[in-house]
Structure 1
Amino acid sequence: MSPMLNRRTLIAALAATSALPALPAFAADGDKVSLLELAVPGPIPDISIGKPDAPVKVYEYASMTCPHCARFDKEVFPAIKQKYIDTGKVQWTMREFPLDPRATAGFMLARCIANNDATKYYTVLDVLFAQQDNWAFVDDAKQVLPGLFAIAKQSGFTQEQFQACLKDQALYAGVNAVKDRGEKVFNIDGTPTFFINGVRKSGEISLDEFSQTADPFLKS
């Protein structure tokens, strides 16, 4: 069970834990898991982009403080979105796998700002990844929350809304429950980890590597 969250305990956790690099991935690439099992709803709703009836379903497990996830988001994901998501071939779902309290706070903020608007959610994720140096990798833990608030403020959030978001116990527990299920059910041990129609791909992948896995499902 997740511990009760309040602003004081979150600040203490942020101070005690620096942003961590991605965990090493040990499970074998190419392992196949059930799409039905992947699609099981969690305590917080999935936020997906792409056609719900797209022939390829992708689940990405990432951490907001993972530099590999950020590089994939900047350098590879836009091409995948243009070629596959925007053309109705892929539905993409980001799932939370926070490696540290800073990543948990980042995911919570993204969900609060988006308020279930998928386009806004993925835009906020892009900003959080792009600005990791301003909040995820700062040496002084006291600068984590100001860095996150600067992003929230750009989205129109007030200080009160920002604080309320990070005090949301149900959201905090939900984000951690997504990670816990990923570990226990799918043996996720590193970020990013992708499931492309159930086929596991661990670590950063290129557009070509993604295509090699996704394209056969589009030809059948």
Structure 2
Amino acid sequence: MIRVTLLALTLLAATPALAQDRTTALNSTPAYMLSEAPTDHTMGSVDAPDTLILYASNVCPHCGTWFANDWPVVKSELVDTGKLRLVFRPLPSAPINLSITGFIMAECAPAETYMTVIEDQFARQSTILSAQDGAIIKAQYDAIAKVAGLEDETAIAECLANEGHFDTLQTSANRAGAAGITGIPSFIFNGEVMSGDNDAAAIMRWVNEN
């Protein structure tokens, strides 16, 4: 279902940005580089006393480990209890065609299910990255498409052809660069780029000591 569009997106792998000809127009110092933007994908109460911006890639193994081990604790203990508001910002990485495809599918999902699609991709990450057969990858992305509410080839094609979604990813990358983000996963807590430990225990300390 997504084979053709995946092949088309491999053209982006030849450039360091999502699409070089779009970077110039979008690469001015972006607003909200250290704070929540109106168009960000978020979880948690708007009244939460603390805000955590998370930069991650859906195909980054370190990000996958964080989502498997630490996100469930952060979500249940901090986000769901109203202590912390999460802002998720996608930062595509190699294999870039798979990363961008997954993130754009998430952009096409209803806003309230965006993070469900992201969580689903992290749950499938090891299968996708270890696959030796293109049919396995195709099946995984067909399933991701379903979670995003993309029920057929036409819906997927229209989703992945939407240039606005590329702009969204580029803006996220621009904000990361302006904030000095050099690796993933990376965290900005209450406007400060954090260094050192970033597991669930560390994040709980940030909240409790604030």
**TM-score where L is the length of structure 2:** 0.77
Q: Which runs of 5+ in 2 are unaligned?
A: 14-30
1:135 has 2:131 as partner: no
- Confirm or deny: 8 A CA contact 2:5 2:157 kept in the other structure: no
SS for the counterpart of 1:83 is helix
Deviation at 1:38, TM superposition (A): 2.0
CA distance in 2, matches of 1:104, 1:88: 31
Within the candidate set 111, 130, 143, 1:150 is matched to 143
Q: Which amino acid aligns with 2:181?
A: I
Matched, 1:212 2:208: no
Q: Structure 2 vs 1, CA of residues 110 and 155 (structure 1 numbering), >3 Å: closer, same or farther? A: closer
Check if 1:107 corresponds to 2:103: yes
Q: 2:162 is matched with which residue?
A: 168
Instruction: State the percentage of identical aligned residues.
Output: 28
Match of 1:24 in 2: none
Separation of aligned partners in 2, 1:63 and 1:203? 19
CA RMSD of aligned residues (A): 2.7
CA distance in 1, matches of 2:129, 2:37: 29
CA separation of 1:133 and 1:14: change in aligned 2, threshold 3 A: farther
Whole-Å separation in 2 of the counterparts to 1:208 and 1:74: 14
Answer yes or no: is the 8 Å Cα contact 2:35–2:190 preserved in 1.
no
Change (3 A) 1:8 1:173: farther
Aligned to 2:61: 67
CA shift, 1:41, in A, is 3.0
| Aligned equivalents of 1:197, 1:186: Cα separation in 2 | 13
Query: CA contact under 8 A between 2:59 and 2:99: conserved in structure 1?
Result: yes
Task: Say if 1:61 and 1:95, in contact at 8 Å, map to a contact too.
Answer: yes
**Is the CA contact 1:102–1:144 (under 8 Å) kept in the aligned structure 2?**
no
Offset of residue 138 of structure 1: 3.3
In structure 1, stretches of 5+ residues that fail to align are 1-6, 18-34
1:116 aligns with 2:92: no
> 2: distance between equivalents of 1:80 and 1:192?
14
Offset, 1:201: 2.8
Number of aligned residues: 188
For 1:140 and 1:8, locate their aligned partners in 2 and report how far apart those are by CA, in whole Å: 16
